[in-house]
Amino acid sequence: MNRKYRKTVIAGNWKMNMLPSQVKGFAEELKNISPKAKWCETVICAPYVDLPAAVKAFKDLRISVGAENLNENPKGAFTGEVSSAMLCDLGVKYVILGHSERRQYYGETDAGVNRKVLVALEAGLTPIVCVGESLEQREMGITLEHIALQVKSALYGVPAEKVRRVVIAYEPIWAIGTGKTATAQQAGEVCSAIRNVIRELYGARVARSVTIQYGGSMNEKNAAELLAQPDIDGGLIGGASLVPEKFAAIIAAANQE
Ligand code: PGA
């Protein structure tokens, strides 16, 4: 983390796991044990149907709410889809874009992620853009090239004054939901490389202001070590964000003096 130059953001990614009727209970449990988040912004990203309950329940906890996807069109005949304006209207502040599960199971492409980033920024949402390599790519030694391509495509056409609002989440695919975390050094290295890509595109001042998270089996045990890396400014947390005690412990790790 480097709190002088950029925000630390701890974001939960509930994926397809929490029922709308369970949201209030989760928030109450978290409220009882959650440390004061003096140094970090805390976010819960939830399925669309959970969002109204989440916005209401997390308001007193000063936790922002995010969606897990959006449609790239402003409005119209797109049955089953949800627009950026709808999310904003509910009080949603963040949106996860290009998560590897969406790239893998729903055919999301770098170009599609870019269109969603532009739409999210236009609406005033903060996109959390996910990038990450597969195990094969890591073994082939092409991790950094692959990630640079994903970052450059996601940010294509994003002006410098808006890129400061983008959060990048580095999530090695082999570490997601597997219990295999990247070592702090591996994660730190890729996050530094991501900052270098942003520096190439936008210059040093912008690059140092962008929040870069690590995600992939981050938990209450490994969070402090990962967050101690200078270029890791937070986490995108799946499994551990469903358990109030674990999520609270990660928030505490991000708020150590
Ligand atoms: P995980 O998920 O923490 O369960 O590995 C992270 C993510 O997919 O965002």
The pLDDT > 70 percentage for the chain reads 100
Residue 91, domain extent: 9-239
Does residue 244 sit within a domain?
no
Does residue 245 sit within a domain?
no
Q: Give, in degrees to the nearest 5, the angle at Cα 117 between 226 and 252.
A: 25
Could you tell which of 9, 10, 13, 105 is best to mutate to test the pocket of ligand 1, judged by most ligand atoms within 8 Å of the CB? 13
Confirm if 167 and 127 have CB atoms less than 8 A apart. yes
Segment 52-69 shows an average pLDDT of 97
Segment 15-37 shows an average pLDDT of 95
Long-range contacts, 244-250 (Cβ 8 Å, 24+): 244/26, 244/29, 244/30, 244/33, 244/34, 245/33, 245/220, 246/219, 246/220, 247/12, 247/30, 248/30, 248/33, 248/34, 248/35, 249/220, 249/223, 250/10, 250/218, 250/219, 250/220, 250/223
| Residue 182: predicted pLDDT | 85
Does residue 250 sit within a domain?
no
Q: Of ligand 1's atoms, which has the minimum distance to the CA of residue 177?
A: 5
Could you tell which of 45, 130, 176, 246 is best to mutate to test the pocket of ligand 1, judged by most ligand atoms within 8 Å of the CB? 176
| Residue 31: predicted pLDDT | 96
Return the H-helix or E-strand segment holding 248. Answer: helix 244-254
Q: What whole-number distance in Å separates Cα of residue 67 and Cα of residue 69? A: 6
Catalytic positions are 99, 171
Q: What whole-number distance in Å separates Cα of residue 162 and Cα of residue 92? A: 18
Does residue 32 sit within a domain?
yes
Task: Encode pLDDT of 211-229 as tens digits.
Answer: 999 999 999 999 999 999 9
Return the H-helix or E-strand segment holding 164. Answer: none
Does residue 128 sit within a domain?
yes
Does residue 247 sit within a domain?
no
Q: Which residues line ligand 1 (CB under 6 A)?
A: 13, 171, 176-177, 215-218, 236-240
The count of structural domains within the chain is 1
Is the pTM for the entire model greater than 0.85?
yes
Task: Encode pLDDT of 99-140 as tens digits.
Answer: 999 999 999 999 999 999 999 999 999 999 999 999 999 999
**Which amino acid residue places its CA nearest to atom 2 of ligand 1?**
238
Q: Of ligand 1's atoms, which has the minimum distance to the CA of residue 215?
A: 6
| Residue 219: predicted pLDDT | 97
Task: Fill in the amino acid letter for 79.
Answer: T
